[in-house]
Structure 1
């Protein structure tokens, strides 16, 4: 049995940097050995929950600009799994959640940057899923609940996004985190560890600096999905926390 994870994917440069966070992710991948990975990425938005469906190796999508050429030479040729895609489709149908399949899309950087650190050999099958940031948090949580059984089958569910993600407030090169970013995450971490769903679902109203930390929801909703897919009996665990460029959170939860 494997847990579910929420992982902040940070900047695309995470794929080539060597630092405390990248070493943490490498170590985490050595600890958790899944048969396959199901990953919800903040960089694939769709009104209908969309499931990648292929048995071939994915193309690597470079959905960013302004970074070094080295990043654009990296690939992550993990293979997909139509078997697991079909399993997901059935599980979501059982919960009344409409889905569709995508047989052509590659892995965006919300997926491959994280996976390249966790499983650098690209030898674990991957199924990538979209997010709909306009659904309320309780609906995101329900998406996770629909696939709660996957951990028992050694399929690792990952929500890849960010807690504090406001590109307009990035402070390039700043190593000390902004006070407001820390205060938002302090609140969020406390509520997650308490599994205080009532407060989490109302984070926009209750969390300090919520609009500043989460100007748009696409990077936070993978947290609710991963939380919903986790164990009913385990207490959520904060595995890692740091910041880059003043406001960009590097947080990882285990559920």
Structure 2
């Protein structure tokens, strides 16, 4: 039985470095050997929940600019899985969640940057599912809930985003975190560990500094997808990693 994970994909340059965080990613990949991965990436937004039916090798999408040339030479040609995509589509439809298909979608940097560290051989099929940051938080959780049970079939569900993500408050070169970012994450960690879904779906009203930490929800909602997809009876949610870069950029990761 695999858990679901919320993983911080970091900046694109994460693919080029070795740090405590990339070592954590490598160790996490060694802990779990899924037969397939379902990925909710903050960097694929659609108005209707869209599922990638691409067969692969999946295109490596360089959805960023102004970075070192070496980044654009990296490829992550993981296979897709139309069969798994069709299963996911059926689960969403059963839950009354409208879906669309994308036959060409590859892996954006919210996916391949950290998968490169977790599963460097790129031999595990990946099915991407889009996010819609404008849906109510309760609906975000329900999207994850619709595919609950995939872990029992050795399928790893990953929500890729970050808890604190506001470029207006980044402090380049600063390694110690700003207190407000820590206080927001403290609140999130507490509610996650308690699996307090009722409070979490109201984080934008209840959590300290919520509007500063999450000015736009696309990087936060994958947490709901991952949490919703996990079995509450299987294990207790826990923090896998916690750290900060640039003063406010959170690397908090969770296992559900």
TM-score (norm 2): 0.98
Give, in angstroms, the shift of residue 117 of structure 1: 1.2
Secondary structure of 1:253's aligned partner: strand
Secondary structure of 1:191's aligned partner: helix
CA offset digits 1:162-188 (Å, max 9, x no partner): 000001211111101111110000000
Report the counterpart of residue 215 of structure 1 in structure 2: 215
Secondary structure of 1:231's aligned partner: coil
CA offset digits 1:55-104 (Å, max 9, x no partner): 22111111111211111111100010000000000000110001111011
Report the counterpart of residue 116 of structure 1 in structure 2: 116
Report the counterpart of residue 93 of structure 2 in structure 1: 93
Give, in angstroms, the shift of residue 211 of structure 1: 0.4
Report the counterpart of residue 180 of structure 2 in structure 1: 180
Report the counterpart of residue 58 of structure 2 in structure 1: 58
CA offset digits 1:107-138 (Å, max 9, x no partner): 10001112111101001000011100001111
Report the counterpart of residue 152 of structure 1 in structure 2: 152
Report the counterpart of residue 167 of structure 1 in structure 2: 167
Please say if 1:79 is aligned against 2:79: yes
- Aligned 8 A contact 2:149 2:231 in 1: no
CA distance in 1, matches of 2:172, 2:26: 25
CA offset digits 1:181-214 (Å, max 9, x no partner): 1000000000111111111111111100000000
Secondary structure of 2:171's aligned partner: coil
Report the counterpart of residue 247 of structure 1 in structure 2: 248
CA distance in 1, matches of 2:77, 2:124: 10
Report the counterpart of residue 201 of structure 2 in structure 1: 201
Question: Which blocks of at least 5 consecutive residues in structure 1 are unaligned?
Answer: none
Number of aligned residue pairs:
255
CA distance in 2, matches of 1:221, 1:70: 31
CA distance in 1, matches of 2:108, 2:197: 30
Secondary structure of 2:39's aligned partner: strand
Question: Which blocks of at least 5 consecutive residues in structure 2 are unaligned?
Answer: none
Secondary structure of 1:235's aligned partner: coil
Q: Cα RMSD (Å) of the superposition?
A: 0.7
CA distance in 2, matches of 1:168, 1:9: 19
Where do 4+ consecutive residues of structure 1 move more than 4 Å? none
TM-score (norm 1): 0.99
CA distance in 1, matches of 2:178, 2:158: 27
Give, in angstroms, the shift of residue 221 of structure 1: 0.1
